[in-house]
Amino acid sequence: MAVIMDGKLVSQRTRERLRQQVAGLAERGIVPGLAVVLVGDDVGSQIYVRNKALACDELGIVSFQYSLPADTTQKQLLQLLDRLNADPAVHGILVQSPLPEQIDEAFITNYIDPQKDVDAFHPYNVGRIMLGDYAFLPCTPAGILEILRFYGIDPAGRHCVVVGRSHIVGRPMSMLLLHANATVTICHSHTQDLAAHTRQADILVAAVGKERFITADMVKPGAVVIDVGMNRDSQGKLCGDVDFAGVEPLASHITPVPGGVGPMTITELMQNTVTAARLFGGK
């Protein structure tokens, strides 16, 4: 029986610390502010944006919401970003993806002031993460590190296998584990004999986006298993990349879906906003 790593609990504890940081900033006359920009009417994005606003309210962070129509031009979005980049009340800017096809997402990412890039997607911040000298950590990998820390799991010297190499999860996750002195293997869709790699993992991170893709035969007994996946099964039920029922009995620790990595992602976004206000606010 594995220890079920409770992302909601870790998130609550992290938010308690964040409240104290927000109170400390208030003494310096700084109220952290997060601008969230939504373009179009994607239902999933609307839910994410609403949850971000709720988290801001809970922590005393001011949330600035911008809901733009689906036919917004790139120029109009850039004009809004000009205003937000210059606004001293805004410490973090997040443009919710996906964006409509007339907008070049990479261009938008590069346009956000790196000091307000609380997603840590700007090439400047990606470069700093590569160097191990960063102000912001990408939210999902940062949340995973926080979960590992909470459960006393030190990646140093362990073999970590990350399945997935996306810019938002797999790659930065691998880099952060490397900074934490793990030996890291990165797997992707061209990896041959994937199971031979995953079976060597002391810590296995699945960020593939495929329902119950990691099965018991792919996991070493006693491994720590982190499931990043957020997929819908044929009944529309939320499920991860890991076959939880099969893997849980042989893992030492495992994150559930829901209630594992997911709750940490928004909390880490709040952390980055507070960090931005602390480092770059009040200038």
Which of these is catalytic: 21, 52, 115, 117?
A: 52
Token pair of 52, please?
């971000």
Q: How far is the CB of 167 from ligand NDP (least distance, A)?
A: 7
Which element (helix H / strand E) includes 129? helix 123-131
97 part of the interface to ligand NDP, by CB under 6 A: no
Contact between 262 and ligand NDP per CB under 6 A: yes
Strand boundaries in 189-263, DSSP class E: 203-206, 224-227, 231-232, 238-239, 253-254
Assess whether 96 carries a catalytic annotation.
yes
Q: What b/e string do you get for 7-23 counting C-beta neighbours within 10 Å, with b at 16 or more?
A: beebbeebbeebeebbe
Backbone angles phi, psi at 266, to 5 degrees: -70, -35
Residue of 21, 115, 117, 119 marked active site: 119
CB of 118 to ligand NDP, least distance (A): 15
Q: Does 7 bind ligand NDP (CB under 6 A)?
A: no
Q: 12: part of which helix (H) or strand (E)?
A: helix 7-27
Residue with tokens 């997402």: 105
Closer of 228 and 254 to ligand NDP (Cβ): 228
Q: What ranges in 180-229 are assigned the alpha helix state H? A: 194-198
Q: Is 189 in the site for ligand NDP (CB under 6 A)?
A: yes
Residues 58, 76: Cα–Cα separation, whole Å: 31
Stretch that binds ligand NDP, among 80-88, 89-97, 168-176, 244-252 (CB under 6 A): 168-176
The verdict on whether 52 is a catalytic residue reads yes
Tokens for 202? Answer: 């002391």
* C-beta closer to ligand NDP: residue 75 or 190: 190
Shortest distance, position 171 Cβ to ligand NDP, whole Å: 8
Is residue 8 within the footprint of ligand NDP (CB under 6 A)? no
Check if the beta carbon of residue 39 is closer than 8 Å to that of residue 95.
Answer: yes
Positions 216 through 235 that interact with ligand NDP (CB under 6 A): 228-231
Report the interface residues with ligand NDP, using CB under 6 A. 140, 163-166, 168-170, 187-191, 194, 207-209, 228-231, 261-262, 265
Residue numbers annotated as active site: 52, 96, 119
